[in-house]
A = this chain, B = another copy of it.
């Protein structure tokens, strides 16, 4: 008899029929002997409908009242799911974030969870009830409704699992787990049974958008085993846990990639201390996020400086950089918005040399030119011409035998 927190996203509860399906599934899980706490999102489309109304009525809807509005989305779902469970003869009780009490700070629209009161939930579970909690929301210590921002329901689920000391936090979504890479690019991609928090963070931030980064960080911090699985098909999904030394780690867990980037280079900048912030300061001032940054030693006491941004910010960043170049007396500014990034991720990398050279060799064999390289403890990223993205990912997936159950 284990306590499990399950989270169902907007698509999983998008229609009355889908909610009824989730209810049936919950009853089956309860019959297996589990104590269940269920976190749900707003029905898909509902949040957009509410935001649409807000935009019609206010030029910049935000703050306290936007949270009052948006939080109704999940409140509708918890009530409907509880009514669906009652229809199946199962006792259920729903709670809004305020009712639980999920205490947050008072940063409306992107609040952070401070504390969760577990008393009511434990009392309901002891009575054999299924507890249904509204994701994405809480309240500050004055009772004002707050919301957690994008992907907030995942965070609610993980935080609840931590507070309730649940055995597992299961995130039901429209994919059946985390794959070695995107199966649309590599048909041989394999679902991973298990992966570490660190690897998942690198995979998620690199574009494998299954879980919100914040919820993975939260799970890692409180060591909550997290499982990603499909609400539409059967299967054990992928379990995300802390690294276990007893496990024989594969060198590489997966390959992430991203084609939404663009790179900019400023050439022949006078090389003196503080030059990096002089270049990136004006970019940050325009609210443009920078991803990779590389500085090469140049000649004649100048330096070349390259960074990548989201492709949507490319034109804007280029204008900013050209201005900076004039001010600093740089030689030239170049840019390329037809690039892609490929990253190998794996905790096994730590204890094994030679990953990087195998990667570079594999790409060279396919005549793919690498224009930027960046490494971290469990990740190697390269920037290449966008048109070689699929070829690169496929050859790396093969080279590292990721389609094998026991890869290199």
Cβ of A209 to closest chain B Cβ, rounded Å? 29
Interface string of A71-102 (1 = CB under 8 A from B): 11001101110111011000011101011000
Cβ of A142 to closest chain B Cβ, rounded Å? 9
The answer for the CA separation of A61 and B94 in the assembled complex, in Å, is: 14
Nearest CB in chain B to that of A82: its residue: B65
In this assembly, does A210 line the interface, its C-beta being within 8 Å of a C-beta of chain B? Answer: no
Contacts of A61 in B (CB 8 A): 83
In this assembly, does A399 line the interface, its C-beta being within 8 Å of a C-beta of chain B? Answer: no
The answer for the CA separation of A393 and B82 in the assembled complex, in Å, is: 51
Q: Check A57–B76 contact: CB distance below 8 A.
A: no
Interface string of A224-257 (1 = CB under 8 A from B): 0000000000000000000000000000000000
Contacts of A57 in B (CB 8 A): 16, 19-20, 80, 83-84, 87
The answer for the CA separation of A72 and B69 in the assembled complex, in Å, is: 9
Contacts of A56 in B (CB 8 A): 16
Cβ of A177 to closest chain B Cβ, rounded Å? 30
Q: Check B66–A79 contact: CB distance below 8 A.
A: yes
- Per assembly, the copies of the chain total 2
Selected from B53, B54, B82, the residue in CB contact (under 8 A) with A68 is B82
Q: Check B72–A58 contact: CB distance below 8 A.
A: no
Nearest CB in chain B to that of A144: its residue: B99
In this assembly, does A281 line the interface, its C-beta being within 8 Å of a C-beta of chain B? Answer: no
Contacts of A78 in B (CB 8 A): 68
In this assembly, does A406 line the interface, its C-beta being within 8 Å of a C-beta of chain B? Answer: no
Q: Check A76–B72 contact: CB distance below 8 A.
A: yes
Selected from B16, B53, B65, the residue in CB contact (under 8 A) with A94 is B65
Interface string of A39-56 (1 = CB under 8 A from B): 000000000001001101
Cβ < 8 Å to B, chain A residues 86-124: 86-87, 92-94, 96, 98-99
Q: A80-B53, A143-B99 are in contact. Are A87 and B65 (CB under 8 A)?
A: no
Q: A16-B56, A143-B99 are in contact. Are A69 and B79 (CB under 8 A)?
A: yes
The answer for the CA separation of A84 and B53 in the assembled complex, in Å, is: 11
Cβ < 8 Å to B, chain A residues 115-155: 143-145
Cβ of A96 to closest chain B Cβ, rounded Å? 8
Most chain B CB atoms below 10 A, which of A50, A65, A69, A82: A65
Contacts of A145 in B (CB 8 A): 96, 99
Nearest CB in chain B to that of A43: its residue: B53
Q: Check B75–A93 contact: CB distance below 8 A.
A: no
Contacts of A327 in B (CB 8 A): none
**Pairs of residues from A and B, 6 with the lowest C-beta to C-beta distance, nearest first:** A69-B79, A72-B72, A68-B79, A58-B83, A65-B82, A16-B56
User: 21 A-B Cβ contacts within 8 A?
Assistant: A16-B53, A20-B57, A50-B76, A53-B76, A53-B80, A54-B79, A57-B80, A57-B83, A57-B87, A59-B87, A64-B93, A65-B83, A65-B92, A66-B79, A68-B78, A68-B94, A68-B96, A69-B76, A72-B72, A98-B98, A99-B145
